[in-house]
Structure formats: structure tokens, C-alpha cells
Amino acid sequence: MVTNITEEVGRSVWYGWGNPDRARPLSPSARKFLRRTLKLTSVDDARPPVDWSGARVGAVAISDEVLSELRTALGADHVSTESVDRILHCGGKSTPDLLRRRSGDALYAPDVVVFPGNTQDVREILDISLRRRLAVVPFGGGTSVVGGVEPVRGPFEAVVALDLRRLNSLLHIDPLNRTATFEAGIRGPAIEAALEPHGFTLGHFPQSHQQATLGGYVATRSAGQASTGYGRSDDLVKSVHVETPAGPLDVGSSAPGTAAGPQLLDVVVGSEGTLGVITTATVKITPKPDHKTYGAWSFPSFAAGAEAMRRLQHDGVRGDMPHVCRLSDTDETASTFKLGGWKTGALSRYLAVRGQKTPSLALFVWEGSASEIAGRKRRSARILRESRGIRLGPMPALAWEHGRFSGPYLRDELLTRGIYVETVETAATWSRAEQTYRSVRAAILEALRTNGGGAFVQTHISHVYSDGVSLYFTFLAGLEDDGLAQNARVKEVASSAIVAAGATITHHHAIGMDHSPYLEAEIGGLGVKVLRGIKHTLDPDGIMNPGKLIPAHKEEQQ
């Protein structure tokens, strides 16, 4: 059965997300909500993207000689200097990425895009790049929202976007060991479509699922919407093959548990293309659940809902935890009701009567076998009720699941209507979560409002751990004339507030260029030095994905 988990969606349009035909227009009530909340005179189409013909792309800075070497290695069909390919590889999908491209700015496009067909091709590209001094930017789904695939040339002759789309096969499935080996360029829906006939799932569904690739998951330590149940990408990955400038490297044990020294898998996982190109990955797979059951609960406050999440995790029976656990703060709950176009009048009145005038909405999905899932849900319900939750029935969770991958389309729609929207995410221990939530939220609101306009911040928890939770902030305001400056201002303030709160600079978006200035605060100067040392061993010339992850030396920054 094709669902939004397995359906193939075309690769994203150059200026935004996915196939724009799949986007839904804003409802009248959503437009009203936004106009009032953001104090805008209009939310009609104000800033549509420029036509393709209006895109400005820089000159190709690569010699025919080098191009001819690449063509000899890969075949002429798999090396492109066409504008269309270069523009499609000139960055990721952060709001500033989109703002630039929507205005026609593709000046920083890579000089050439290569499409290797296998690991050996990748090896040859790296060898040519070393010899010819080319920077190499590995490119999977291109969904980075932190500048992770920015085609930075650095001190090199030219910059190559290395697109892994042709490495898209399931190589091996091992039902006994419950592992599967894929080529790294396979996208989320294709992973699931390949596993489905065998009765398995990877269970990794980030919002970028329909575009993102397995290699990207591993390279960025992504988390998925069901990672509370299945684990994060760094929990799922067992081993990886990576082609580095210094040679091929296999990391991850072939054994289920090992004490054989430091685990280099955890060095490659999260390396964001700065050490080499991940070409294959072996991952844990799980039998597709027979059954799913859904629940939605309302809490009197975000804090009360968070406490209910903690109790599920800490006091619930081992194994009862829902696979999906999401909790919206009262603002996000309000906007979900408005933007989702729900008929929520009766529901709101009912909750108000029950003492929840500004409710905080929680959504759950339990997965498992029919025989045991009811018991798990029932025991969880007892804890949720004890935590002042009101049961709302399964519909809100089903609706969320139906639209689980549509968020990025909404952003394109909002940008077109002159509304600035961006996200920031972190994770914090239980003891720091509330303070982190308050301080980051306040900092974002203040930064948004410096222009005197309206602003809106909504937050949710989407991942629950023994020691804490993730926090995901989505914020909106009128788009300023210089949207890039607006974005830089808000992100800087939000990131600093996260650092000050002692939370992590990123729970699942990774470091890229945008978070790189904050990494040292998290891992220390000596930690950064260790990363630089590892990079020096595997990529001594520094050709791999320049400018990402590892902060530049202080002297270089001057």
C-alpha cells in the first residue's frame, strides 16, 4: 500500500520544497489568524518567487581539462555544468536559502555537479579532486536547514556538488540479524518501499522524509518523528562505508556489541560530509508493526503536559512508551486549531468548561501487535489521566499523521505571503527544559519584535528521553525588506539563548555553517581540536565540505 511513508515525490523545486502542486493554500481562517497575530495589513501574495528565467547564476570556474577528467571517470552523462543542475545544488532549505533563491540569487552555485553511480565512482571523484584541488560537497536530499550543503569553494580551484542520487539501492537485507545495507543516496520513501515487501521498516521519519537520504540521516544524526520508539538515526546505524580523501574507511563493528576501543562510527556519524562521502550504511530494521493506535490528550499547560511525558517515560511499564510522543505548547495548540482549519469551537468550549482555557495538546502513536497494544495504551492512559490530561480521542493524532510531512510546503506559502518563518530546535534535561523553553522563546520574541511588528512563537516537544526532551520552536513575523538580516538577527539571539541555557545547539538539525560558531561552547576548545585532528587524518587537504561543522581557526576568521 502506498502511503505518505512510501510514496515517491519528485525532488524539490529549486526555490522551495517538494512539488508545489502538493501544497495546500491557506484557509481564510488561517489568513485571518496570521494577519491579526502578526499585525500585518495583508497576507495576500506579496513576495512570490522569481521565475526560473530570473535566476542569476555565477560563471563556471572549472577548466575543460578537469571536466574532461571527471567525464572520463563517470561518463559524460553524469557530469553537469548546466545551470539547472547547478541551481538545484546551490544550497539547502533553510529560510535564508529560500529567501536567496526566491529572489533569483543562485550566484554561489557549484561549478559542476557530478552523479557517481557507485563507491568506485566516488573514489575517483575524490582522487581527481585532490589532484586538481577541488572542494567537494556531498549532496543527498539537499534538505539541510543549517547550511550543510552550501557550495563553499574555500581556497580551492572550484567546488563540486557530489550528488548521491544514483546510489539508491537496497544492497542486502538480513532478516535474521534485523539489519539492512543500503546505498547512501536512497531517499526516505524508497527505503521504506524497499523494506516493505520483506515486512520491515526503518522507522525513521523526519519531516524531510520524502526528500532526505539515508546518508544524510547518518551524516547529520537526524531524529525522526517516531524516534522515541525506534531511536534516532545514530541509534539505528550499525556500520558505514565512507570514502575519505585518505582512503576508504569502514566504521562500526560487524558484531552486536564490542569493547574494541573508541568507536569511530560515532566520529563518522554526524561528520556532515567533512571527513568523506558516506556511500553505504547498514542499519537496524524492525518488523513493520501489525497495529497502530492513536491518542490525543489535552493538558492545562505546557508544563503539565511535559510532566505527563516525563511520567510516561519514568513511571510507565518498560516497553509501554508510545513510538510517537508530541506535545504542543499552548501557542502551537492554538495555531494548530486555526491553521489546520479544524472545527474546534465545540472542543474549545468543552475544554474551557473542564478548566483548560488555553490547552496544551499531546499526540501519541503506539505501534505493536494487536494483542498487546491495547494494554500499553490503557496503562499509558492511566498515567496521562493522573497527570491532569483530558482524553480527546484519536482524530487529532490521525490528522497529524496525515499531514506529517507537509510543514515545509506551508513555509513556502508563508514566504510568498510576506511572512517570515523559521525554526530552531534543541534538547534539554528535564531539570533545564522549562527554563530553556522560557528563555529561548522570550529571546526569539524580542528579536522578532525589534521592528515594532507582531510576532508569534510556537513550540513543541517531539522526542522524549530518560533524561529530558527536545524543544522545537517555530516562529513567524512580517518579512522585513532585508529578510536575510532579519533571519540572522533572530537566529543569533535564539542560538545564544540556547547556549546560555546549557542546552544543545541542535537536537536534530545538525551543525552545518549556521551552528558552527556555537560548537565550541558545547564541546570545548580541546574538543574542537580533536575534531580538527581527525579531519587532518582523513582529509589532510581540507577538500571535504569546507566551512561546515568545524569552526574555523580564530586567525582564519579575522
In order of 27, 211, 212, 346, the CA distances from 342 in angstroms are 10, 28, 30, 11
Shortest Cβ distance from residue 24 to its own copies (Å)? 30
Q: Which stretch binds its own copies (CB under 8 A): 335-343, 440-448, 476-484, 511-519?
A: 511-519
Distance CA 434, CA 441 (A): 11
Q: Which of 13, 130, 267, 499 binds its own copies (CB under 8 A)?
A: 267
Q: Which of 317, 352, 374, 485 binds its own copies (CB under 8 A)?
A: 317
Interface of this chain with its own copies, residues 148 to 177, rule: CB under 8 A: 174, 176-177
Shortest Cβ distance from residue 366 to its own copies (Å)? 10
Distance CA 29, CA 36 (A): 11
Interface of this chain with its own copies, residues 227 to 256, rule: CB under 8 A: 232, 234, 238, 244, 246-251, 253-256
Q: Which of 202, 223, 362, 461 binds its own copies (CB under 8 A)?
A: 223
Distance CA 558, CA 554 (A): 7
Measured from the Cβ of residue 104, the count of other Cβ atoms closer than 10 Å reads 18
Name the phi and psi angles at 306, rounded to 5.
-65, -40
Question: How many residues can be counted in the chain?
Answer: 558
For residue 370, what is the DSSP state? H
Asked if 531 touches its own copies (CB under 8 A), the answer is yes
Q: Which of 127, 157, 196, 266 binds its own copies (CB under 8 A)?
A: 266
Asked if 511 touches its own copies (CB under 8 A), the answer is yes
Asked if 515 touches its own copies (CB under 8 A), the answer is yes
Shortest Cβ distance from residue 403 to its own copies (Å)? 24
Give the number of residues in contact with its own copies, rule: CB under 8 A: 91
Three-class SS state of 446: helix
Nearer to its own copies, 74 or 283 (CB): 283
Q: Which of 264, 347, 484, 499 binds its own copies (CB under 8 A)?
A: 264
Shortest Cβ distance from residue 261 to its own copies (Å)? 5
Asked if 105 touches its own copies (CB under 8 A), the answer is no
| Residue 421 grid cell | 518563518
Distance CA 327, CA 190 (A): 29
Asked if 541 touches its own copies (CB under 8 A), the answer is no
Shortest Cβ distance from residue 249 to its own copies (Å)? 5
Q: Which of 526, 554, 555, 558 binds its own copies (CB under 8 A)?
A: 526
Q: Which stretch binds its own copies (CB under 8 A): 58-66, 191-199, 312-320, 385-393?
A: 312-320
* Contacts of residue 169, Cβ cutoff 8 Å, sequence gap at least 6: 182, 183, 186, 194
In order of 179, 307, 313, 314, 465, the CA distances from 304 in angstroms are 39, 5, 14, 15, 17
Shortest Cβ distance from residue 199 to its own copies (Å)? 12
Name the phi and psi angles at 146, rounded to 5.
-130, 20
Asked if 554 touches its own copies (CB under 8 A), the answer is no
Shortest Cβ distance from residue 503 to its own copies (Å)? 6
Q: Which of 12, 179, 293, 336 binds its own copies (CB under 8 A)?
A: 179
Shortest Cβ distance from residue 530 to its own copies (Å)? 5
Nearer to its own copies, 372 or 492 (CB): 372
For residue 39, what is the DSSP state? T
Interface of this chain with its own copies, residues 357 to 396, rule: CB under 8 A: 368-369, 372
Give 13-27 as a 3 state SS string.
Answer: CCCCCCCHHHCCCCC
Nearest C-alpha neighbor of 35 from the set 477, 486, 480: 477
* Contacts of residue 141, Cβ cutoff 8 Å, sequence gap at least 6: 11, 187, 188, 208, 211, 212, 213, 216
Q: Which stretch binds its own copies (CB under 8 A): 27-35, 87-95, 106-114, 267-275?
A: 267-275
Nearer to its own copies, 26 or 145 (CB): 145
Binding pattern for the stretch 268-287 against its own copies, x by CB under 8 A and - elsewhere: xxxxx-----------x--x
Shortest Cβ distance from residue 280 to its own copies (Å)? 15
Q: Which of 21, 59, 346, 466 binds its own copies (CB under 8 A)?
A: 466
In order of 151, 447, 501, the CA distances from 441 in angstroms are 32, 10, 12
For residue 226, what is the DSSP state? T
520-529 contacts at long range (C-beta below 8 A, 24 or more positions apart): 520/551
Nearer to its own copies, 155 or 524 (CB): 524
Q: Which of 221, 338, 411, 417 binds its own copies (CB under 8 A)?
A: 221
Asked if 314 touches its own copies (CB under 8 A), the answer is yes
In order of 41, 436, 514, the CA distances from 457 in angstroms are 20, 14, 20
DSSP strands (E only) in 268-354: 277-284, 286-287, 291-299, 324-328
Asked if 527 touches its own copies (CB under 8 A), the answer is yes
Asked if 519 touches its own copies (CB under 8 A), the answer is yes
Asked if 122 touches its own copies (CB under 8 A), the answer is no
Nearer to its own copies, 244 or 280 (CB): 244
Interface of this chain with its own copies, residues 394 to 453, rule: CB under 8 A: 426-431
Shortest Cβ distance from residue 182 to its own copies (Å)? 16
Asked if 517 touches its own copies (CB under 8 A), the answer is no
Nearer to its own copies, 25 or 256 (CB): 256
Distance CA 137, CA 139 (A): 6
For residue 524, what is the DSSP state? H
| Residue 469 grid cell | 526532551
Region of residue 161 (left: phi > 0; alpha: psi -120 to 50; beta: else): beta
Nearer to its own copies, 91 or 512 (CB): 512
